[in-house]
């Protein structure tokens, strides 16, 4: 009986194991997970933390017992120490039994995920300093909020998680300061989008300090203080959220090739450079459909899709993962922020002759109550008008960006997008949806040949 082993039991890992079980029912499918939890929605942790009455366990999709009922040999608290691709064996440590052994495999899926970046600053390990990546991180943070009852928090890093957590902590009644080393909130977004995010944060009482370098974290009375090159920020809680890195040490030590992004290099079938070894999720690269290059975009959607392909192929199928366009979205208080494809600076680095077109348009019909002004930046190829990317902030931005994502998959131009038959009803959209207006502006900019980024501007 063939044995398919999966290292990692969260998004990519459980997708791989479930698919392998379906495709090859006679196979022995083993999942090795270092932690105690599997199959949980880590992206939901900021929203769970908002509500002191909710258990963090609410985010668990499948308990270990349910996984085992499906015929998968799940072994939690098992850490893989080494991989020998030539012998097709793993060295595995049972953390609870404090015992190390060898496990052979016929096919292997590496789904080791990613870990938070731990900046080399003094005080990073002090009590009251938290990261937010695994379910246990969320549990520890929630306990601290309940037991220590901090009044102030400092969030180090203004990326997706940092911004979402700023909102969650405000809703828990804390005063929040966000400090970001780079010159804008949500680095990687266009300046106009980033400025709108900053305004939304500040409008809800969050202090946003950009261009600030954290020099250390120290004890201050009964709490902490974040020391920067600008000033000292007191806090009863510090959340460090400055990015993540792929967990590739195991693969690298085994001689498996890493890609240009630093994640594991894979082909469209999620095969690595080692025979019989596949990789999926936050530890693996993906192909960007706009640039045509390998990228590392650690998101749950990609992890689940890659895991499904890896698991199927580990069971003998020949599936392929088409690639991504980098679609992502998050919420900050009363607005949604979303992006897909290339940003203007990304396009320039790839030597694309691009323009960035800014537009602002109402999210609902004139005269219908509510709604907001949506800000959109569309990146297009100069002359041809080929759509390269889009970003939006406002009402229902997360679903409107899906129109642009679909257009990128289809290789459409901004003129093609401009002609789409999108829905209209006063509660949902004006006659000309913000997507259509943004495409019209981008078509004109591309034809005019302007090749300068739009400035940060406010409505």
Q: Which residues are catalytic?
A: 43
List all residues 6 or more positions away from 22 whose beta carbon is below 8 Å from its beta carbon. Answer: none
Which long-range contacts link 449-453 to residues 24+ away (Cβ below 8 Å)? 449/355, 449/382, 449/383, 450/355, 450/382, 451/353, 451/354, 451/355, 451/382, 452/355, 452/356, 453/190, 453/191, 453/344, 453/345, 453/356
Q: What are phi and psi of 292, to 5 degrees?
A: 80, 5
Give CA–CA dist 160/442, Å, rounded: 26
Give CA–CA dist 274/85, Å, rounded: 6
The three-state DSSP-derived secondary structure of 108-164 is EEECCCEEECCCCCECCCCCCEECCCCHHHHHHHHHHHHHHCCCEEEEECCCHHHHH
Give CA–CA dist 386/446, Å, rounded: 9
- Name residue 218's beta-bridge partners: 225
């Amino acid at each position: 009986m063939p044995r398919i082993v999966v290292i990692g039991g969260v998004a990519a890992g459980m997708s791989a194991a479930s698919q392998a079980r379906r495709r090859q029912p006679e196979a022995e499918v083993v999942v090795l997970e270092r932690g105690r939890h599997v199959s949980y929605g880590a992206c939901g942790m900021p929203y769970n933390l908002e509500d002191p009455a909710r258990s963090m366990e609410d985010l668990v999709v499948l308990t270990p017992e349910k996984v085992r009922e499906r015929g998968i040999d799940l072994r939690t608290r098992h850490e893989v120490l080494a991989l020998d691709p030539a012998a097709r064996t793993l060295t595995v440590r049972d953390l609870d039994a404090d015992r190390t052994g060898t496990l052979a495999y016929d096919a292997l899926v590496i789904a080791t995920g990613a870990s938070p970046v731990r900046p080399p600053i003094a005080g990073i390990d002090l009590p009251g300093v938290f990261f937010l990546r695994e379910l246990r991180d969320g549990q520890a943070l929630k306990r601290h909020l309940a037991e220590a009852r901090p009044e102030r928090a400092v969030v180090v890093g203004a990326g997706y998680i940092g911004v979402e957590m700023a909102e969650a902590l405000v809703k828990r009644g804390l005063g929040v300061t966000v400090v970001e080393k780079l010159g804008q909130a949500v680095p990687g977004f266009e300046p106009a989008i980033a400025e709108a995010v900053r305004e939304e944060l500040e409008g809800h009482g969050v202090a946003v300090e950009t261009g600030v370098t954290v020099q250390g974290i120290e004890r201050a009375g009964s709490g902490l203080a974040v020391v920067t090159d600008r000033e000292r920020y007191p806090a009863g809680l510090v959340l460090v959220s400055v990015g993540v890195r792929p967990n590739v040490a195991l693969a690298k030590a085994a001689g498996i090739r890493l890609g240009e992004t630093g994640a594991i290099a894979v082909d469209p079938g999620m095969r690595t450079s080692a025979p019989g070894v596949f990789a999926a999720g936050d530890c693996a690269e993906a192909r960007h459909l706009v640039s045509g290059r390998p990228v590392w975009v650690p998101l749950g959607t990609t992890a689940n899709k890659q895991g499904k392909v890896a698991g199927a192929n580990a069971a003998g199928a020949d599936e392929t993962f088409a690639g991504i366009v980098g679609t992502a979205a998050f919420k900050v208080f009363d607005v949604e922020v979303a992006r897909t494809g290339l940003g203007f600076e990304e396009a320039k680095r790839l030597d694309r002759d691009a323009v960035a077109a800014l537009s602002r348009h109402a999210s609902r019909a004139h005269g219908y109550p509510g709604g907001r002004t949506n800000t959109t930046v569309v990146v297009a190829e100069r002359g041809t008008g080929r759509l390269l990317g889009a970003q939006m902030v406002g009402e229902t931005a997360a679903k409107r960006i899906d129109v642009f994502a679909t257009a990128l998959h289809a290789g459409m131009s901004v003129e093609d997008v401009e002609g789409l038959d999108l829905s209209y009803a006063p509660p949902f959209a004006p006659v000309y949806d913000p997507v259509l207006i943004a495409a019209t502006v981008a078509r004109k900019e591309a034809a005019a040949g302007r090749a300068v980024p739009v400035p940060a501007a406010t409505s």
